């Protein structure tokens, strides 16, 4: 193991260059886990070959982790070596490796590699392996502080493609989803790893989804997809406040739901044989005691690329169309859907199927075909302003982009890149 880590340090040190300091994007999909950045002063278009590449690193191994940036450090994870170790990397804002740390075995079965994007909270950073190992490290040194095997502790059941979650830190709690008996979702003490609560009465498996916090019923609640439901959980005591049944093919609903003013939207990338629609909007009562399905849709079947909710509209890309040859032409299309009515406002090919974040009025669309696009959203229709190819890295383009202090971070397999997107 020591020789493997030494080799990693050598590789990533030799491939580093220089960049200036960054503001926080400290967790999966940004400050509020909704894919949105509050930054201003960014480029409104890119040069023909794309924005300037400030630095890149290689040797990160196999993985789909995004970059998390906090307090002058950039974090990501990867699967490394014959031991199939999950490695947490920390770079400074010049792209120089500061430390690496193992968080145990990482997912080595179908679509092997690291899934978790690190979550940084103060002087600590948290990861969650494909085997349910929740680990806390010192954010500055990489020293392990605690670790909990959540599958073993909570009698959880793993998934076909491994647990794929970036933990949520709320108050003094680390929230994760081991899918155990009376413990679908659990809260661990962020300082010690001790159990604070489990979801009594809820024993479903996970669904590859990372939980978010929403305002509902006059308070903050945890919202997530699990095996057969969409659930609202009280973050104080773990009580299930609302459960909306939602069956999905392969028990997969990796995209965090959208909740706005009593309206709940959920989408999944796989068609069920007994029901072809893959996206649903439910209207919930003010106290979350009842719900009504208002509409459903089979166009925006987002797989795992995330959604952007903006000005009452949902933006995202559809997935592989199963059992619908007539829809084959729409594969990898981007859709703008009205949340209230389900109306399709606009659609366009753009960069093909992929992930999306948003900053200063523009969408940053990262296609699985390696194309990175800067896109103007409706009201007049999608317009792709600029694009360039991601040429470094390996395997699937599944990691979500990150934006921090005028820099666009792209993770692609064994490589990570930082681009200068500051307006000139």
Rounded Cα distance between 28 and 216, Å, is 22
**The token pair that represents 57 in the structure block:** 């690193």
Distance CA 109, CA 102 (A): 19
Query: In the prediction, which pLDDT does 217 show?
Result: 96
Q: Could you tell me the pLDDT band of residue 275, with boundaries at 50, 70 and 90?
A: low
Query: What is the Cα–Cα distance from 263 to 285, expressed in whole angstroms?
Result: 9
Is 35's pLDDT higher than 50? yes
Question: How many whole angstroms separate alpha carbon 204 and alpha carbon 207?
Answer: 9
**pLDDT score recorded for residue 247:** 85
Q: What number of CA atoms fall less than 13 Å from residue 67's CA on the CB side? A: 34
pLDDT tens, residue by residue, 304-324: 999 999 999 999 999 865 545
The pLDDT of residue 204 = 97
| DSSP β-ladder status, 415-420 and 407-412 | antiparallel
pLDDT-derived band of residue 362, with 50, 70 and 90 as boundaries? very high
Could you read off the pLDDT of 64-107 as tens digits, one per residue? 999 999 999 999 999 999 899 999 999 999 999 999 999 999 99
pLDDT tens profile 238-254: 999 999 999 887 888 99
Q: What share of the chain is helix, strand, coil (3-state, %, to 5)?
A: 5, 45, 50
Question: Which domains are present in the chain?
Answer: 2-420 (2.130.10.10)
| pLDDT, the chain, mean | 92
Distance from C-alpha of 422 to C-alpha of 409, rounded to nearest angstrom: 13
């Amino acid at each position: 193991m020591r020789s493997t880590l030494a080799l990693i340090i050598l590789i990533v040190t030799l491939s580093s260059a220089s960049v200036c300091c960054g503001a926080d994007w400290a967790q999966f999909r940004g400050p509020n886990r909704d894919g949105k950045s509050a930054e201003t002063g960014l480029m409104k278009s890119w040069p023909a070959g794309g924005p300037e590449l400030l630095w890149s690193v290689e040797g990160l191994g196999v993985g789909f982790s995004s970059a998390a940036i906090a307090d002058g450090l950039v974090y990501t994870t990867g699967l490394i070596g014959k031991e199939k170790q999950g490695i947490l990397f920390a770079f400074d804002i010049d792209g120089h490796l500061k430390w690496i740390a193992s968080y145990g075995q990482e997912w080595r079965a179908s679509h092997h590699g690291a899934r978790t994007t690190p979550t940084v909270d103060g002087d600590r950073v948290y990861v969650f392996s494909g085997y349910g190992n929740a680990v806390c490290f010192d954010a500055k040194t990489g020293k392990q502080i605690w670790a909990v095997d959540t599958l073993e502790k909570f009698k959880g059941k793993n998934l076909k493609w491994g647990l794929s979650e970036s933990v949520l830190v709320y108050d003094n709690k680390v929230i994760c989803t081991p899918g155990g008996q009376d413990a679908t979702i659990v809260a661990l003490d962020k300082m010690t790893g001790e159990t604070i609560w489990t979801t009594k009465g809820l024993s479903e498996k996970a669904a590859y989804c990372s939980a978010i916090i929403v305002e509902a019923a006059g308070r903050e609640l945890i919202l997530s997809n699990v095996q057969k439901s969409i659930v609202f959980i009280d973050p104080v005591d773990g009580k299930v406040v609302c459960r909306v049944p939602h069956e999905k093919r392969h028990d997969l609903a990796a995209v965090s739901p959208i909740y706005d003013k009593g309206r709940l939207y959920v989408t999944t990338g796989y068609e069920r044989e007994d029901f072809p629609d893959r996206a649903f909007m439910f209207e919930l009562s003010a106290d979350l005691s009842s719900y009504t399905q208002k509409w459903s849709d089979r166009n925006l079947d987002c797989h795992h690329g995330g959604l952007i909710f903006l000005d009452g509209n949902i933006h995202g890309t559809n997935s592989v169309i199963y059992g619908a040859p007539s829809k084959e032409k729409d594969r990898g299309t981007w859709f703008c859907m009205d949340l209230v009515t389900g109306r399709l406002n606009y659609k366009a090919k753009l960069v093909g199927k992929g992930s999306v974040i948003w900053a200063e009025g523009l969408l940053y669309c990262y296609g699985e075909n390696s194309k990175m696009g800067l896109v103007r959203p409706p009201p007049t229709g999608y317009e792709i302003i600029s694009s360039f190819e991601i040429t470094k890295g390996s395997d699937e383009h599944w990691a979500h982009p990150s934006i921090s202090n005028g820099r666009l971070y792209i993770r692609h397999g064994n490589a990570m890149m930082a681009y200068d997107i500051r307006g000139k």
